[in-house]
Structure formats: C-alpha cells, structure tokens
Chains A and B, each alone.
Chain A
C-alpha cells in the first residue's frame, strides 16, 4: 500500500538526513518508527506528505508516486493522509469544531471554508468523531482552553475527518504525561483497527512502541537498523539503534494496564499579552 524506496533527503545545510530508506507498509498495519533524536524519523514522515521535499527516491501510495505530483494533485493526495503532530499543532485561536473541520479543507472551496459553511455531512462526521473521543460537549471551546490530552484528541479528529487511508503520527505523546500518553496511543490504535487504517508512528518511547505497534522500524543516522516485530527488540538491537546503555529496564513484557479514569492534566489558560514595546512600534 505505502511503499518507500531509496528515500534520501539532504537539507540545504548539507546534512544528509536520510540515506536511502526502504519501507513497505501493508494495509492496516500500525508501524512504529523509533530512534534517537536526529535519526530522521520526523523527516521520513514529512517526506511522505511532502511537507519536506525529498531529495531522491520514490514514495508510492496505492501506485501513485507522491514525489512526482504537481501542487494540485499533491493537495488531493494530502487529503488521503491524516497527520497528527507532536505539539498538537491545533490552530490555538480557533474553536475545537473549527479545528476538526480544518481536516475537510481539502474537500471544500475557499469561500465555503472562509464563511465556515461546511456541508452538513462534514458537521455530522465531526460531531461523531468528537463524540468518539469524548469531546463533543467542547465543540465551541477555543483550542487553547483544552488540556494537552484533549488537544491531542482534537488533533486526532482533525486527521480522521479527512477520511484518510494512512495516518502519519509524529511524536504524539512527546508533550503528554505518561498516563495520557498511553490513553492517546490506545485511542490511535483502536481507531486504526476500527477503520482499517495503516499508520506510521514516530515515537521515542520504546515501551509505548512495543505496547501499541505491530511492527517496529529502528532508525539511526538516516538508516534503517531494525525492522521487525516488537518482541524481537533485544538489548543488542536497542544498542544498535540508540548506542550502549543498560536496556534491561526498558524491555519488559508490559501487560495492558488497568483502565484508568479520566484525569487529564489541565493546562492553565494563559492569556497571551502582546508586547508593549511591539505595540508602541518600538522594535
């Protein structure tokens, strides 16, 4: 379904971030991409929807080569790939509903979206998704009023309302506490199996990757050093990915933890104050 072949990326600074990556992701597979920071995980994901332009190689989704698409086709292609971000990347000053509907932008015209006149079917689907993640009562709250876990769930809704075939997930738990992290990962996993979606999940937390992914790809310095099932992740493998360290505490057969109650950490609502100097034109 998704096939990456010989993907390389050289940044303008000259850094070779990816050195010829080959990955095949079959339909419905949830794959975790692990590796130290700077290994190129984020670059892989961003090359797939071309937020970062690949230098060479091919990426085909259902036999369409994404790398060769023109801008209009690329936009159509992006609709088929939902992306979930590390810092949620919600548009902070828009409401939850508007953020979810952002996922439909590829399907509606400019004026329709500017005037917020989305088709009723989109609205219905948005409410359905928000209900699924338990946030439908917050539809008209502004995104910056939500806690971290809630924001990430809105981010998931935004990705899913695109009706994607593939989810690109970039460090979904990096800014969340451990418990919320698990809830979010479980939610992503469940949604993938409900909708038979494939997903590529960048994650630095090896334990979470083992718990929730069917397959793990280890990346180091732009090269794949491991590709296999989670239970084959031995200390030797981890050493080859991350370098020498005592891994015995990290690799543990983790049982699904007991279902926990809803207890999101509430982020204090900060009022952004414009800088006085800036307003006075003093810069």
Chain B
C-alpha cells in the first residue's frame, strides 16, 4: 500500500431494478403506453360537463333518499337477493368441496386434478355477469338463474382457496392419520379437514358477503334480485329511489361484514 486515494466516495441509492436496460425499457414502455392510452381514449368533455349537474342531482338525491314510493319493489328485490345469497352460498360451497379436493395436487390423481383445475379456471375467468347472461338464457329470467350463477362462481372462488389450503397443509399430520390404517374418507375427515376447517369457515362467511354484493348486480341482466330494480330506477332517472336502494345495499353489506366478523370469532 503505497498510495491512498482520498477522493470523496460518492453514494447513490442503488436502483430498485438492477439492470439498466430493463429499467429503461420499463420507463419508456410506461410512457409509450400512457400516451397511447390518452390518444385512443376519447373523452367527450362537453358531455362530461353537461353530466355534472345530473351528477349533482344524483348526489343530492341522497338527501333525503326516497324509500317510500318504490318500497314494495325494493323490499321484494332485497328479499330475493338474500334468498339467492343463502341458497347459492350453501350449494356453491357444498359443490366446491369435491372440486377443491380434486384440485389439490398433493391428494388428487393427475386426471382428476387437471379436470378440477379446468373447472376452477373457467369459473374464475368469467365475471359473474357473463355467467348470469348464459344462465338466464338457459333457465329463463328470475332468481333461479341468479342462484346457479352465484353457485358456480362460488365454486371457482372457494374451490381454489380450498385446494391451495390443502396443498399448504402439514403433510406430517395427514400422514400420521393414514398410518393408523384409516380409509380414504376417514383420512380426509381426520387428517385433512381439521387443518383446513377454521380458515374455510371464515372464507365461507366472506363468500356470503361477496355473493350478496354480486346478487345486487346480476339482476341487471335478468338474474333476479335487487339489481333489476336498481337498473329500472336509473333508466327512469329516479335518482332518489336509486339512492335508497344503494343505501340499503351498503347497510346490508356492512351488516354482513360485521356479522361474519363476529361469527368467525365465535367459530374459531
């Protein structure tokens, strides 16, 4: 060591993305994408401007909302949504248990696994509304189509999470049960179920919430429930009735959320 360089050591925050060219590509890509979006997305500002008073009218419709003039329809729609939610959550979860078990790589044989995964993929890819359109075509207007839609959507959600949970479970515990000479069903009952049960109950209650929220919209395409009433209210520019419906929906969703939180604590 003959010479000590004493130039000040510079320091810069190390970049998040290490390779420089990737950093540039991402930045340029983002800029290009955003400009393209702005160029290809027509916004009719005069229309937006004209709409603002209507927006204001809508907001003011909340003070006070009109529960009275369409109360019968609202009550019926909400009741229908609730029945649909109850039935489809129960049926959906019941059906998703075999599908979920079949879609768990660690316990299902390969052909079953791929079949169940395909079912889950289809159910998860399509938004409830798209499913509802088809089921309405098949089963006719009304809550039955909505019930089938929500049940099918529940399978996708619940089955996938169940499958993941089973895949994540502690293999040792399950093995110990199998080692005791249990049959396949006993093995599922004693080795697998206790491990996944607490979380699945919570998820079931959560899915109930989601199903209610969704049941509020599938009526728009004819699937029964409060959605149809809401759609009509908007079509007729009856904002105060629409406001009432929205408030009822929010209230029920909050109720569901608190109720399910409470239930979950009680169950676990």
Q: Are B199 and A126 in contact (CB under 8 A)?
A: no
Complex CA gap A97/B9 in Å reads: 12
Q: Are A124 and B13 in contact (CB under 8 A)?
A: no
Q: Are B202 and A124 in contact (CB under 8 A)?
A: no
**B164's closest neighbor in chain A, by CB?**
A276
Q: Which one, A116, A124, A276, A280, contacts B9 given CB within 8 A?
A: A124
12 additional A-B pairs beyond A123-B9, A123-B10, beta carbons within 8 Å, are: A95-B13, A95-B14, A97-B11, A97-B13, A116-B13, A124-B8, A126-B11, A127-B11, A140-B14, A276-B164, A280-B161, A282-B202
A120 on interface, CB distance cutoff 8 Å: yes
B window 202-227: CB within 8 A of A:
202-203, 206
A139 on interface, CB distance cutoff 8 Å: yes
- Interface membership of chain B positions 1-36, coded 1 if the CB is closer than 8 angstroms to chain A and 0 otherwise: 000000011111110000000000000000000000
Q: Are B206 and A123 in contact (CB under 8 A)?
A: no
Q: Are B9 and A127 in contact (CB under 8 A)?
A: yes
* Shortest Cβ distance from residue A267 to the other chain B in the assembled complex, whole angstroms: 21
A98 on interface, CB distance cutoff 8 Å: yes
Q: Are B13 and A282 in contact (CB under 8 A)?
A: no
Q: Which one, A95, A123, A280, A282, contacts B8 given CB within 8 A?
A: A123
- Interface membership of chain A positions 89-100, coded 1 if the CB is closer than 8 angstroms to chain B and 0 otherwise: 000000101100
Q: Are B203 and A282 in contact (CB under 8 A)?
A: yes
**Number of residues in A with C-beta < 8 Å to the partner?**
16
- Interface membership of chain A positions 78-112, coded 1 if the CB is closer than 8 angstroms to chain B and 0 otherwise: 00000000000000000101100000000000000
* Shortest Cβ distance from residue A130 to the other chain B in the assembled complex, whole angstroms: 10
B window 162-177: CB within 8 A of A:
164
Complex CA gap A280/B9 in Å reads: 45
Q: Are A282 and B12 in contact (CB under 8 A)?
A: no
Q: Are A123 and B11 in contact (CB under 8 A)?
A: yes
**A98's closest neighbor in chain B, by CB?**
B13
> A residues near B, CB below 8 A?
95, 97-98, 116, 118, 120, 123-124, 126-127, 139-140, 276-277, 280, 282
**B157's closest neighbor in chain A, by CB?**
A280
* Shortest Cβ distance from residue B212 to the other chain A in the assembled complex, whole angstroms: 15
**Number of residues in B with C-beta < 8 Å to the partner?**
13
* Shortest Cβ distance from residue B134 to the other chain A in the assembled complex, whole angstroms: 26
Complex CA gap A123/B7 in Å reads: 12
* Shortest Cβ distance from residue B17 to the other chain A in the assembled complex, whole angstroms: 14
Complex CA gap A276/B10 in Å reads: 41
21 CB contacts below 8 A, A to B, read A95-B13, A95-B14, A97-B11, A97-B13, A98-B13, A116-B12, A118-B11, A120-B8, A120-B10, A123-B10, A123-B11, A124-B8, A124-B9, A126-B11, A139-B11, A140-B14, A277-B199, A277-B202, A282-B202, A282-B203, A282-B206
* Shortest Cβ distance from residue B221 to the other chain A in the assembled complex, whole angstroms: 25
**B13's closest neighbor in chain A, by CB?**
A116
Chain B residues whose C-beta falls within 8 Å of the C-beta of A139 in the assembled complex: 11
* Shortest Cβ distance from residue B177 to the other chain A in the assembled complex, whole angstroms: 25
Chain A residues whose C-beta falls within 8 Å of the C-beta of B14 in the assembled complex: 95, 140
Complex CA gap A123/B10 in Å reads: 7
**B168's closest neighbor in chain A, by CB?**
A276
Chain A residues whose C-beta falls within 8 Å of the C-beta of B203 in the assembled complex: 282
* Shortest Cβ distance from residue B259 to the other chain A in the assembled complex, whole angstroms: 15
Complex CA gap A58/B10 in Å reads: 43
Chain A residues whose C-beta falls within 8 Å of the C-beta of B8 in the assembled complex: 120, 123-124
Complex CA gap A10/B8 in Å reads: 49
**10 nearest interchain CB pairs?**
A116-B13, A123-B11, A140-B14, A127-B9, A282-B206, A120-B8, A124-B8, A97-B11, A282-B203, A95-B14
Chain B residues whose C-beta falls within 8 Å of the C-beta of A97 in the assembled complex: 11, 13
**A281's closest neighbor in chain B, by CB?**
B206
Complex CA gap A97/B12 in Å reads: 9
**A101's closest neighbor in chain B, by CB?**
B11
**B202's closest neighbor in chain A, by CB?**
A282
Chain A residues whose C-beta falls within 8 Å of the C-beta of B202 in the assembled complex: 277, 282
**A115's closest neighbor in chain B, by CB?**
B13
